[in-house]
Structure 1
Amino acid sequence: MALMRILQSQVTSLTFNLYQQQPSRTKSNFTKSMHPMKEWKSKGRGLKISVVGSGQVGAAICSCLLLRKVTQNLVIMDVKYNLAQAETLDLLHGSVLLGNPRIVACSDGSRTKDSDIVVMTAGARPSGKNRSRLDAMHGTMEIFKAAIPLLVKQSPNAIFVIVSNPVDVMTFAVQCLAKLPKHRCLTTGCHLDSLRFRYFIAERLNVPPADVQAYVIGEHGVSAVPVWSSVCIGGIQLKDVIKELACGEDPEKWWNFEEQVTTAGASVGKVKGYTNWAIAATCTDVVEALTSDQGKILCVGTDMQGLHGIEHSVVLSLPCLVKSGGISHVFELPLTSAEQEKLNASAESLIDAQCSLKF
């Protein structure tokens, strides 16, 4: 017994010493770049997700959410009930391979009650040869004016993720229509643009895209701003090893990637008639972060007034810590003067679009 007490004492002492050696969390100057969302609170793992709109994008998002096992309780809502029901049955027929999730359809929003997360994909599609995201804005606005109050009434504490185009402007519309706090109403925004940016850089350098750190900020659209000054691969800043990176004479022609980033979706859409898989994977990544206490840093959009010198209320994308409860922090990147000017121009373009909304 004496020997046991000695051994227990030694184990206790060793455990205490190991605990004492753990690094303590102290404040760093880096935290000055992290701007907390004052109203954010941890929400815990979201279990019920409603996807509004069962078109190509909505259906792809539902598929990704189930395949990634982000949720076991999914609602598919569409005013075309037959379409929502067909997509529901199609998924249920393979539900044994998806962990036997609960999947239901509705057209009136009744089954969305008490959702943890609501994903908005419904909207008007732009028409015409030179169609753009902004062309669909007013038609989508009419859909939102009917749907958003109903959805918020059913799930007043839900986090809303807006995928309907134009995503930045429509997120602003939802924040106004529903009076939702900005940390709980966000758009996938430039997360997809950032993924494309990383892909193009990785292809050029023959490295894995996952090992490229790069962000596109501002509008999810033509005025998006690739932040070349922060591109990093394997701890190496790209700007430190490439002369005139995407500026000046740019002998290696990196500038071409800017147009590729902003037109990639349109080039796919011209052939397919739509894009769905990349945005579905992107949205699923955001939703997955929203079910995690640790979260992820993703370039998503919400009202960024007060950051980077932005004086007015405008929804655009910046790197954000997305976690349970919504956006907990926004990161203010150290931009060059040229990047700051482009961000200002992107913000002005979005403000003009927001001002044209008809509430």
Structure 2
Amino acid sequence: MKTIYLDNGATSFPKPETVKTATLDYFDFVAGNAGRSTSSSRGVDRMIYDLREHLAQFFNFEYSDHVIFTKNITESINTILYGYLKEGDHVLISNYEHNAMLRPLVALAKSRHIEFEFIPFDLYGEVDAMDVQAMIKPNTRLIASLHASNVTGQILNVEKLGTVAKQNHIKFLLDTAQTAGFLEIDMKALHIDCLTFTGHKSLMGPTGTGGFLISPQMASETQPLVCGGTGSLSESYEQPEIMPDRFESGTLNLAGLMGLYAGLRWLDEKGYELIQCHERSLIQRLEAGLEPIEGVVCHNEVPFTQRTGVLALSFTHKDASWIAHALHQEYGIITRVGLQCAPVAHKTMGTYPSGVLRISVSPFSTADEIDQLIAAIKTLMK
């Protein structure tokens, strides 16, 4: 039985062949460590430099030395929250947040008495800028939001958040886990002070890759989460202030970053428009195929053109977990069921605590796979 992978909101699969080749090249051609060795590692130094430059251009950011690599977006978000927020600060976050944002804030609420409130985005991804403005307090120091829901694919109107943040001289953090590689993201246009990203989803890179792009002012006000060897200023007992060393202690995931760079180049060749058109056409096909099936509820409050390549499903007379299990065991179809690490989003949607079955496609998903999924759900609903 052939496997049909439809859980790309978690990790994209398959990867482009060039990503696989680039990752494996590390084991064959790289000897040494970036910033620490001579000989062939100098080629890796150049690759890391070029990758920073590429990511800066990718997100329209002018400080390539302020592109920082981490092992995933969760580490990036933790680095910023723990490094930037101080005792008694107030934070505004969206009501669609992933636990990667929520859990560190809950921990900081206990340890540093951080306050946080939820910005009331509606089911259409909209919010009134005046409502956000009214939530700002004298101690509000950060506005943070994901760019699109990992549950429904709903793209939030985060431009309003960036504008309010800029008007009030508050830093704006954007989590692009679900949008980087699918949507064109302009840090200047959206007034983003810090953008966090992960490599293993729509950027088509390997797991263990991610990072953040941070403005010089915000970087100077943020303490590193991890300190240690950087390959620079080794005579000093203190963490270097120079960028990107300030936030990059220890050995980088060179194999993964080589793969990530290949993923970015593959995306450049494909282009956003082609990828969006393909994935959204599959979601449109899926919605049309499921519409006649009694008992299937599609959480598609906005058109597929305002979402990523994701569709969340509920069932009136079947358990979503049972459907997901049967799809895998009987048809080889891999999905994601439950709360998707986003209980706040489900409370906003009204699907807490049961959750949903999430379908998420990729540039490699096909119309035939979608048709097989529709046929399988139709059979299971009987």
Fold equivalence (TM over 0.5): no
- Looking at both structures, which has the greater relative contact order when contacts are Cα pairs under 8 Å and sequence separation is at least 6? 2
TM-score tier by shorter-chain length is 0.3 to 0.5
Q: Which has the higher helix share?
A: 1
Please, what TM-score do these two structures have when normalized by structure 2?
0.33
